[in-house]
Structures are given as C-alpha cells and as structure tokens.
Structure 1
Amino acid sequence: MKRGLILLVAVALSACASSRPRAPQDDHASLGRAPVVDASAMDSQRDIVLAVANPIDPPATHAGSSLLGYAPSKHYGAGQRAAATLAALKQSYGLHEITGWPIKALDVYCVVVKTPPGMARDALLKALAKDDRVQLAQPLHDYAVYADKPQDAHQDNDPYASLQRGFVETDAALAHDFSEGNGVHVAIVDTGVDTTHPDLLGRIHDMHNMVDDDAAAFNRDGHGTEVAGVIAADGDNHRGIVGIAPKATLSIYKACWYPAALHAGARCNSFTLAKALAAIIDTDTRIINLSLGGPADPLLSQLLARILEQGRIVVAAMPPDGNADGFPIDAPGVLVVRVGGTSAAAPGVLSAPGIDILTTQPDGGYDFTSGSSMAAPHVSGIVALLLALSPRLDARTAHDLLLRSSKVSNGKLQVNAAAAVAALRETQKAAP
C-alpha cells in the first residue's frame, strides 16, 4: 500500500476536520437515573472503596451496554442482602455514600464513601477490615497516564523525517501486506477520545464515560485520542496518518480526566477504572490497552485477574521510573511495554517506539508526543495484526512471539510488526 502520501500530508491536514457526527454515547441516558457523580471531585486522600457481598444478580444487560449505570433507586443493582449490609455499615461507622455500583463478575456491590470528620482514614480501614460484613475496604487510589505534553511539530528540525516514527521503525507497512487487524476488537481505557476526528471516524464502535456526563470534554481529551490514533488511525483515506492496525475496531472507556490545573496530566481513580474493567468483562473485546498506572489496588487486581482468566490480552505501559510493583503491570500475564532505548529492558518487558510519535489530537489535529503511553499502543496494534491472522492466539504466545521477533532499529531493540507477522505465519505453516 502507498503510505508516502499519507505520511507527508499529516501536518498539513491538521486543520481539515470535516463533519461532526454523533457525540459519545451516554451509558446512563436510557436508565432514568439520578445525576451521575463527577469522579474528578472525589478525594483520594479521604475517600474509601467498600465492597459487600451481593449474591442476587443485577438486571441482565447486553454486551456493549453499561453494567454500572445509575437508576433512581438508591441501591441500583444491590440485592436485599447488600442493601441491608450497607445500611448497617453506614450506621455503625457514620459513613456517607458518594456513589455505588454492582460488579457482577465479582458478586459484590461497591460504594465510594467519605471518611467521617474527625476520624483517620487508616483507622477506619483497619476497623472495616476486621468486620465480617465487609468483602473489601481500601483507599480510593489515584492513577496517572504516562505521556509527555505534545510537542509543536513546527519546532522539529526535520518534521517530515519524524513523521510516524513508530510506524516506520516497526515496519508496519510491510506487515499490512498480510494483516491490518480486520475484525479485532480493542478496548482503550484512558481519557475520552475525539470521536469526530477524520482519522478515527471509521474505527470507533462504542464509547463509555465512567467519569461524568460531559460529552464535550470527552471529545476534547488528548491522551486517549493519541492512543487511539497509534493503534487504529484509518489508512488509505488520503488524510493524516495510519495506525498500526487500521482495520481494528475500538471501544473507548473514559476512566481518566484532566484536572483544572494548567498542563496537568490526566488522572484516574479506583472508582472509574473499576467501572471500566467491569464493563469490559461483559464484552467480546480481545485486547485492552492501559497506558496508565499507579499503586497496587485489591479491587482492580481482582477485576484484572478475571479479565486475564477470560483469555484477553492486556497491554500496559511501564511507569517512567521503571517501578513494576503497581497496577496494572504487577499482574502476571500482562504485556508490559517500555519506551525502546539503548539499555537492556527488564526480563520479559517489551520495548516499542515512544519518542516523538506523531498521532491524532483533538479537533482533528496531529502532533508529536512521547512516553510509554505511546509505546504500549504500538504493541496493542501489533497484537491486533496477529489476532486477525490467529484469533485463538493467547497472551503468553503473543508475548513470546513479540519478544523473539524484536529487531534493532536506530540502535534500539524494539518490537517489529513485520517480523512478528512473519514469525506467526511461519508457525502456522509448520503446524500439522
């Protein structure tokens, strides 16, 4: 396929956004619900996530719809036992519920509660941990994305030489002779995405806002838009860039938001990430991209373990400090990705392009950005290419194949789309 023209016109087309179709779907709009809680207003220094047993299944839902919507009932999705337990716990400890939601996959009902005034949160957590009525009690943790602020393309000494560096370094154009990720479903858990971007219009299947009701903010979010473009920007459409897997289908789960402070990176918390992961469990998505991370979290670990048990492939970004102790990279089976460099990676860690990556931006734009947040979607895109050829490919096989087919490019040992596809095809030929 002819990529040259597509690459050369990327910056020139940054202002060429055309029609603006539908806004992101509101998971709660059809539920007749009470106002959605703004997750960005929660206090990670004081708030607690509390779970109680919920043996009564919540109302049936369909794949692609939200398991976690709100209805006028105070305990939407909570069975009689869960509702009674929560009422008793609130009275015993003086708790104020901010919001609650069922997690069907774990048979629990979760609430975010405020620590009562005058009480230390750690003391409350210790008391709740000893209470037999409580399945889980933990702090509301904060999480962050791993990307630097986009650079001004015009400040690059040779912007055309830098266009789609990751696409070139992974030999993705050669891989596209055999696979473009057709039919592979990828979930992006991140900020919102510019769903009207001309390079993403044909790729996004469904959107879910786990943070608030602000559809306009959803489309203005930068980080998720960047990740989506690396994975699946449309190819051969005579505009912009092309993704690693331009025929893959994307589901967007907004679990992160931008704080009001200028130049602050996007943030997420235990509440929003748990909602996103629980919703994914009820879908057919094969790949989950998590270009974010933070501290270990019991609830998120349980949900991630369930996702991995289902045979899905989770791709996660390595923190900038290289610490592998937190969520989500501490879960066995997760494909951990760092920015490719001249130093050796930790055993089992994949390396991918992550410096000066040209990708999609809100308002139909394009710009360069860096960080392991950009390295991870390169791997998600390559895995989509592989799954299109071998739908039953599992995470361990995909990881080992990517590791052994990595090649040196510009002095860096990195994953290589063409080599990975070739290795998989050779394996398929050799199979009886």
Structure 2
Amino acid sequence: MSDINRRTLLRGMGAAGATLAFTGLASASDGSAQYLLRSNGNSIERRLRNTDFALRHELAEGDVAVVTGPADAADELAGVRQVSSVTRDVTVELELPEVDAEPSSTPGEDAALRGLQWDKDLMQVGDAHEVATGEGARIAIVDTGIDLDHPDLGNVNADLGRAFVANDDVPEIGPDDSGYHGTHCAGIAAATGEVGVVGMAPEAELVPIRVFPADGGATFGDILAGIDYAAEIGADAANFSLGIPGVQQPGADINKLRANVQRVFQSAVRRGTVITGSAGNDSGNLQQGGGLTLPNSVPAVITVSATSPADTLSFYSNYGTSDIEVAAPGGWYETIPRTLGETGEPGDIPFPLNGVLSTWPTTLSSSVGLAGYDFISGTSMAAPQVAGLVGLVRSLDPSLNANQVESVIKQNAEGTNGSSGTEFGAGRINALNTVESLR
C-alpha cells in the first residue's frame, strides 16, 4: 500500500511504508487456486460448466474474469473455448514498518484542524470551494474500507459500499474499514469538515469498496473487481492508493498481470470513471529501462507523485516522465534530514505535522492525540487529492468524459513547463485554477 507510516522513516532505503508485499499465489476461501483470464467473448460462466473451475468476478464488460479451481491447472483452463490467456493471481499483504522516529511537536487539544491542512492551502482549496464543492459527484475509494461512523465522513453511501475479499476474516463489517488506510484516503478526497478536517470535494458522495481483510492479503482479482464495480455504479472517480513495491522490470513474472489490469481499467474509463493511483514510494525511476509499477503503470490511470510543503518532490516518491501524470501533496520533504528538522528553511513545518492530516478510524488511537485524525505521508495521500479534484470538475461539468477531465486537471496544474516533467508530470495540481477554468 502506497503510504508511509506517520512515525517511521527507514533511513538508507529512500522510502518507507505500509506497502504491499507478495505473500504468495492467490487462493479462494475454500483453498482453491485463483486465476485471472482474458476471454474472447461473453458467457464465460457458461463455458466453465462441466469443468473444475468456478467464476468469482466477470470484469471489463466480459473481457476479463477471476476464476477459481485446482492448483497447477492453468493449461486446462487455457483450453476452455475462447480463453486467450491465463495468469495465476497473486496475493499482496500490508507490511507495517517499525517505529523509527518520534514526533518533534504535536498540536494542542484546541488546535484548529483546518489550520493544519497545509496541503489544502497549497492547492488553494479554500478559494476553490467558493466555486465548487463536489456536489453531485461520486468518489469510490478502493482500499481497506471507510469508517462508517466518522463525524467528518457523513457523506459515505454505505448502501452502495461493497467488500470484494477472497479470504474475508471480517465479513460482518461489510465496507467498513478493516484497517485505517481507506479512511485516511477518503478524508483527503472528500471529508465534509463537519468537525475537524475538510477534503478536496466535501459535498461529493463517497463509496467504500473494501478489498482487504483485517488480517492478510488482497488479491489482484479483488482489486480489479473493486475498480470494475466503481465504474458499474457510475463513480466519477475511483481512487486506489495501492501498488506493488519496487520498480518492476519488463520481464518480471508479475508483469504478466499487466494486460488484465489494463483491460479492466480501460473499460472503467470508457464508462466514464476517472481512475487515480499512487506512483509508489520507492524513490524509483519509472522511466529508465522500462521500469513500472502495478497496477499504476497503465495508460488508463492518472498516476500521481507526491510533493512536500515546499513544493518539492517528496524523498520517497517514484518519478519518471513515462508514468507521472500530475503531482499532489503527499507529505514530508525532499530529504529525510529536512523532514526531521535537522536541516531546512525558515518556516518549515515540523515533523510529523509536515505529513498529511486526514480522517482516522475513531476506534484507533492517534499518534498525535487527536481522536479521529492523524498524519500520514506517502503517494497514497497524493492520489486522493486528485480524486477529489475530479469530483470538483465533474460537479461543474458532468458532461466531460474521463479523458477530458484529466486534460482539464493537467492544463491547470502548476510548477512545470509543459506536460512532461520527470517529477511532477504536468505539474502539481491547483484546485482554484482548475475550477475557475470551467466557469
């Protein structure tokens, strides 16, 4: 998962985080193996009759399917009529790093939480809300779920929420948060400001799509099912702050999944859903040698790098002209020493307040003593900034297709010349510029 634990800096690695780590090949709850396949034609379920395989998800308008069945039987599945390719699905799991640094200062109990949202100030969100607040837009968060009881997330549509989890150890919670990550991303995109913090699109509707159990891993098949469902319900934006750690090389086995990812995402975009994804936290160059990450490095995704309070690339963020569309505040500075206050400039924001403040599950403790709120940094925090901005754009002009929405956001970003900056792509997003361009 593309975020960085609020109190952790792993020196010498260039990035840290609650990342997705491979835990093995994916299996369903009954122990059967899980596969992703491409299908030339509809009715894959009918074609699986009288075989040892069962359909879990049919995605991308019938072009991709998630299927369970015997292990080591890919060849048998490939022999099913009109199946063009078969790939064994993988499971990825959250890895939380150990605490390495303590906060240098914390806000008081009576702090004005909006005043701690430096990220929204950089993007001129307050002024943008004089023009648009996201009313009428729908934003799906494909993640760990969303805290359904949070006072700043009263705009969550729990009825539309879904859980796509192969081995669900908490089925009773449905789309509620099985961790914390989805709640934090949701607040960045669309917190209402009822109590503590304000999101980019505070009057947009949020839809929680949970793809993680409380303990264990998510499968690629379920992540793709979440994106497909977001398109099915007409979400204006679908944010997934998820990604495989490291910069993958073109010949890596994991890249066999790329074609299926691309098909599902392109189908969602055709249906009008803008997909926003985090660039990853490996300080990696996604340009040299054909490096890429999944599921971010496909053309249908607005891939977002992370910036600091000083409008510099955050030290952990991946970069590369070939992949980065835009940048958005993700927290921390361009170096670890500046992040910790060991070096820096007058006016720098101290650690951990130079992270991104957002909503936090009310049942979990906060590292800074603010119940229901916490600071995290990572490209995970950058992506939902853009998802919220999609909500503002669509609230002003619902007729724009997904590609047009992306173009408007890029054209009104700032900080780069042109649209091919290595670190920021078209630039760091600016909410006020964007909404004013549509007046």
TM-score grouping bracket, smaller chain normalisation: 0.5 to 0.7
Query: Which residue of the partner structure matches residue 89 of structure 2?
Result: 140
Give matches, 1:26-425, under 5 Å.
47-50=34-37, 55-56=42-43, 78-79=45-46, 81-84=47-50, 87=51, 90=52, 100-103=56-59, 105-106=61-62, 110-115=66-71, 121=72, 124-125=73-74, 128-129=77-78, 132=81, 134-143=83-92, 155-157=103-105, 159=107, 163-205=116-158, 206-211=160-165, 212=168, 213-215=171-173, 218-235=176-193, 237=194, 239-259=195-215, 267-294=217-244, 295-296=254-255, 297=257, 298-321=259-282, 322=284, 323=286, 325-340=292-307, 342-343=312-313, 346-347=320-321, 348-355=324-331, 356-363=355-362, 365-407=372-414, 414-425=428-439
Letter in 2 for 1:197: H
- Structure 1 unaligned spans of 5+: 1-37, 57-76, 91-96, 116-120, 261-266, 426-432
Change (3 A) 1:230 1:149: farther
Q: Distance in 1 between matches of 2:88 and 2:176?
A: 27
What does the per-residue CA deviation read over 1:147-198, in whole Å, with 9 as the maximum and x for residues that have no partner? 989999x934253597222212211000000000000011111111111111
Change (3 A) 1:422 1:100: closer
Offset at 1:201? 1.9
Offset at 1:250? 1.1
What does the per-residue CA deviation read over 1:330-357, in whole Å, with 9 as the maximum and x for residues that have no partner? 2213211010153595335211111111
Q: Distance in 1 between matches of 2:393 and 2:89?
A: 37
State the secondary structure of the residue aligned to 1:187.
strand
State how many pairs are aligned. 338
What does the per-residue CA deviation read over 1:252-277, in whole Å, with 9 as the maximum and x for residues that have no partner? 111123436xxxxxx42122123223
Query: Which residue of the partner structure matches residue 73 of structure 1?
Result: none
Q: Distance in 2 between matches of 1:146 and 1:376?
A: 20
Q: Distance in 1 between matches of 2:99 and 2:136?
A: 31
Q: Normalising to structure 2: TM-score of the pair?
A: 0.67
Cα contact 1:149–1:369 (8 A) shared by 2? no
Q: Normalising to structure 1: TM-score of the pair?
A: 0.68
Offset at 1:408? 5.3
| Bigger fraction of residues in helix | 1
Query: Which residue of the partner structure matches residue 16 of structure 2?
Result: none
Offset at 1:50? 4.9
Pairwise CA RMSD? 3.6
Cα contact 2:188–2:199 (8 A) shared by 1? yes
Report % sequence identity: 25
State the secondary structure of the residue aligned to 2:197.
coil
State the secondary structure of the residue aligned to 2:185.
helix
Larger radius of gyration: 1
State the secondary structure of the residue aligned to 1:359.
strand
State the secondary structure of the residue aligned to 1:186.
strand
State the secondary structure of the residue aligned to 2:61.
helix
Offset at 1:326? 3.5
